[in-house]
Structure 1
Amino acid sequence: MNTETTTILQSFRDQILRAAEQGNALQIRGGGTKSWYGQATDGDILDTRGYSGIIAYEPTELVLTARCGTPLSDIEAVLAAQNQMLACEPPYFGPGATLGGMLSAGLSGPRRPYVGAVRDFVLGATLMDGKGQILEFGGQVMKNVAGYDVSRLLAGAMGSLGLVVNISVKVLPRPFAETTLVFALSEAEAVRKMNEWAGQALPISGSSWHVGRLMLRLSGAEAAVRAAKQVLGGEEMQDAATYWQSLREQTHDFFSQDDEHGLWRLSIPSTTGALPLTGKSLIEWGGAQRWLFSDESPATIRTSAIAAGGHATLFRGGDKNMGVFTPLSAPLFNIHQRLKDAFDPAGIFNPGRLYKDF
């Protein structure tokens, strides 16, 4: 560790200790591209962008370690040069997205159900807690699993447990071949087909349905992709990479709707049929992720998701006062609270970002 990075870490520690002593909240922020996600919060900004750079990268080991403020674009450029990638396709939602923001938000793109989520690729993390202590979890190689669950726990924690300063992630090779097939199907037919195909030995790496069209991405060895195309049929999509990018970054026309009720993200079993909810929807992840614009009440939307065996999140916009995430049961909330107390005893890190009382 050089003098500059040591100085930056010391400045982080000083800011954390000062905030804990004075009882002031801290907003941990990198590029701020996902600052709208979760409950609204306030407090002094702890800017991570100065703590940037790739610490170690072993292409043959498929492992990369970088500092929290490192831009995702820098990381993906380095990986692309070795024909590798962040396989879960984490969304940027803006040019300043950082590795720390990727982990804290825990959001994954179209490839998620076929390769895993952000948390599945976290091998290790270094955390600065509410006492300014440096805590090491996991490692920099896939064989090292000590503390693995703790480092994965940080994915989606929205910075509520502390400042993640270094992160080690598993990366994967880019597929040799890729194509996208298009099918004209109703919602019910599309859900049935996606689940039917998921049970077969097909190199599926992305799926989505919207207004009568099912898009299915195939990735892998050229022979496997070619054979799957012959089995499945359908029409080949032109400029498919742009389409999947528009889903990952939510620049697709569907997401541009200006709806005062907000955009809902429903996570439900993939075999679930059409939900009894009015509005406009887009389906991803083989049927397991449903995006919804609806004038139904939040209670109705959440009840419908729970009845299907899942949950609903007010992803963007709408009235956050009624809660962005599905309320936790008392036992689960107690677990969350104990973790918060252990890592952040003064309650200074992004208070209320996940839940109002957390």
Structure 2
Amino acid sequence: MQPSAPQDASSFSASPDELIETVRSAATARQRRRIAGAGTKAFLFPSQADDRPVLDARAWSGIVSHEPTELVVTVKAGTPLHELDAALSAHQQYLPFDPPRYAEGGTVGGGVAAGLAGPARASVGGARDYVLGAQFIDGRGQWMTFGGQVMKNVAGYDVSRALVGSRGQLGLITDISLKVLPLPPAETTLVFELDQARALQQLHVWGGQPLPINASRWEGGEVPRLHVRLRGAVAAVEAATQRMCGDAAGQVVANEAAQRDWAQCRDHQLAFFRTAGPEMSLWRLSVPQTAAAMDLPYAQLIEWQGAQRWLWAPAASSEAIRSATHAVRGHAQLFRAGVGGDQGVPREDAVPPAVAAITRRLREAFDPHGIFAPMQD
């Protein structure tokens, strides 16, 4: 499914003044608003009708500053991810957490607000690890600044990082400063024919060795395969290739094909993500990397050296899926509902009381009138 752009959205010029005034008016009238960009991650929200007017700030776009020698870039939140990628690539730099783009048009602000990361998350960290500072408009219509452009600017509670994964429930992100890194000198992808249990075991063994493993992906099927991406110094990648292929009879994948496949994995365009029946829902399981193979009768794709596991199953299978996930001290998310919707199944596991309390206090501090609160609140 390709999400469409938000309907009945309020469009804004290349100035935040209109956004600020709109939020202030909504706060005065106690009218809720929904923040949205291109709508590429709209499926993350519950299926209940949401008729709140949309704040669409995609016109607030562009790169504010880029200091290649300082490894930092500041962009307006409406900037398309592909534009930022191109600007960084021109200086041989990139965003290591590689935010997913499930459809065309995804923005930097949307990527940060969703808090998602690509295949290298287990090796390089997530979005929160690369956000240095942010500006956003809170539920009172105040334009606020937190953090800066260097890590040492952090003092007290780091609100700029709290915005990561907030899904627009604290306010509207307008500007973001991100740490970037140089592109690695060498990259190689290896493929091994291994079943799930053997693949996980081998990843655990390699994880205890000084190998430049950047990402992994295991897929079942008629011939189950484990893909491992190596990144780093030329000598380190070459030595790791020789050792790992000797350990498990692996083969090198052509770089062009491998890079295409990793991008498709990140954006859920691989066959695994496109061939399930319409009644099936996509589940995301977050478990310890060392968790063994899980006995679930559904197709799976495993990333993050075992820590992130995707599977297709009906929404009604929630109890069995969550029971198996909790047994290995993980949690489950109904990531993308099938045509029947989520059928009233909770999209997320229950939040621990301490986390819920912190979230509630943050929302009360930055959005006391619930202008950006979800419809079900």
Distance 2:320 2:273 in 1: 21
Q: Percent identity?
A: 46
Distance in 2, matches of 1:281 and 1:122, equals 31
Amino acid at match of 1:32: G
| Displacement of 1:13 | 1.0
Question: Taking structure 1 as the reference length, what is the TM-score of the superposition?
Answer: 0.94
Cα displacement (A) at 1:232: 0.7
Instruction: Name the structure 1 match of 2:295.
Output: 276
Cα offset for 1:130?
A: 0.7
Match of 2:179 among 147, 170, 191: 170
Alpha-carbon distance in structure 1 between the residues aligned to 2:158 and 2:328: 28
> C-alpha root-mean-square deviation of aligned residues, in Å?
1.6
Offset of residue 258 of structure 1: 2.6
Q: Which residue of 2 aligns with 1:103?
A: 112
1:11 paired residue among 8, 14, 18: 18
Worse-superposed segment, 14-23 or 286-295: 14-23
Is 1:244 the counterpart of 2:267 in the alignment? Answer: no
1:209–1:284 contact (8 Å) kept in structure 2: yes
Residues 87 and 188 from structure 1, CA distance in 2 versus in 1: closer, same or farther, beyond 3 angstroms? same
Deviations 1:150-196 (A, max 9, x none): 21111111010001111000001111111111111110010011111
Tell me the alpha carbon deviations over residues 35-70 of structure 1, each in whole angstroms, 9 at most, x when there is no partner: 111224431110111111111110001000011101
1:265 pairs with 271, 284, 299, which one?
Answer: 284
* Residue 75 (structure 1) aligns with: 84
Distance 2:157 2:102 in 1: 28
Do the aligned partners of 1:138 and 1:148 also contact (CA within 8 Å) in 2?
Answer: no
Partner of 1:31: helix, strand, or coil?
coil
Asked if the contact 2:13–2:60 (Cα under 8 Å) also holds between the matched residues in 1, the reply is: no
**Residue 308 (structure 1) aligned with residue 331 (structure 2):** no
State yes or no: 1:45 paired with 2:74.
Answer: no
Secondary structure of the 1:322 match is coil
Shift of 1:277: 1.7
The 2-side partners of 1:97 and 1:7 are apart by 18
Partner of residue 229 from structure 1, selected from 241, 246, 249 = 241
User: Secondary structure of 2:153's match?
Assistant: coil
8 A contact 1:210–1:283 mirrored in 2: yes
Alignment of 1:81-100 (within 5 A): 81-100=90-109
Contiguous gaps of at least 5 residues in structure 1: none
CA distance in 2, matches of 1:231, 1:242: 25
CA distance in 1, matches of 2:157, 2:68: 21
How many angstroms apart in 1 are the aligned matches of 2:357 and 2:237?
A: 47
Query: Do structure 1's residue 57 and structure 2's residue 66 form an aligned pair?
Result: yes
Q: How far, CA to CA, are the matches of 1:269 and 1:113 in structure 2?
A: 11
Name stretches of at least 5 consecutive residues in structure 2 with no aligned partner.
1-11
Q: Which residue pairs with 2:362 in the alignment?
A: 339
Q: Write the mapping of 1:319-358 to structure 2, written as runs, cut at 5 A.
A: 319-320=341-342, 321-352=344-375, 356-357=376-377
Q: CA deviation at 1:285?
A: 0.4
* 1:350 CA drift (Å): 4.7
2:219 maps to 1:200: no
Does the 8 A contact of 1:26 with 1:42 survive in 2? Answer: no
CA shift, 1:331, in A, is 3.5
- Aligned CA distance change for structure 1 residues 187 and 109 (closer, same or farther; 3 Å): same
Question: What residue in structure 2 maps to residue 22 of structure 1?
Answer: 29
Q: How far apart, CA to CA, are the structure 1 residues paired with 2:26 and 2:347? A: 26
Q: Counterpart of 1:16 in structure 2: which amino acid?
A: V
Aligned length: 350
User: Alpha-carbon deviation of 1:6?
Assistant: 9.2
CA contact (8 A) 1:105 1:156 kept: yes
CA contact (8 A) 2:119 2:216 kept: yes
Change (3 A) 1:309 1:288: same
1:168, 1:193 → 2: CA distance?
38
